[in-house]
Structure 1
Amino acid sequence: MVTSSSVTTRPALVLASASPRRLELLAQIGLSPDSVQPADIDETPHPNELPRLHALRLARSKAETIASRLADAALVIGSDTVVALGRRILPKAEDEATARYCLTLLSGRRHKVYTAVSCRPSAAWPEGHSNERIVESYVIFNRLTPQHIDALIENGDWNGKAGGYALQGAAAAYIRQIGGSASGIIGLPLFETTQLLRGQPCPAGMGWVP
Structure 2
Amino acid sequence: MDIAVLTFEGFNELDSFIASGILNRMKHKGWNVQITSPSEFVTSMNGVRIEAQQPLEFANKADAVLFGSGMLTRDIANDDKILSRLSLDPNTQIIGAQCSGTLLLSKLNLLANTPACTDLTTKPWVQELGVEILDQPFFANGNVATSGGCLSSQYLAAWTIWKLAGRLEAETAIHYVAPVGEKDRTVEHCMSVVGQYL
| Structures share fold, TM-score greater than 0.5 | no
Q: With the length of structure 1 as denominator, give the TM-score of the two structures.
A: 0.27
Bigger fraction of residues in strand: 1
Q: With the length of structure 2 as denominator, give the TM-score of the two structures.
A: 0.28
- State which structure, 1 or 2, has the greater radius of gyration over its C-alpha atoms: 1
Bigger fraction of residues in helix: 2
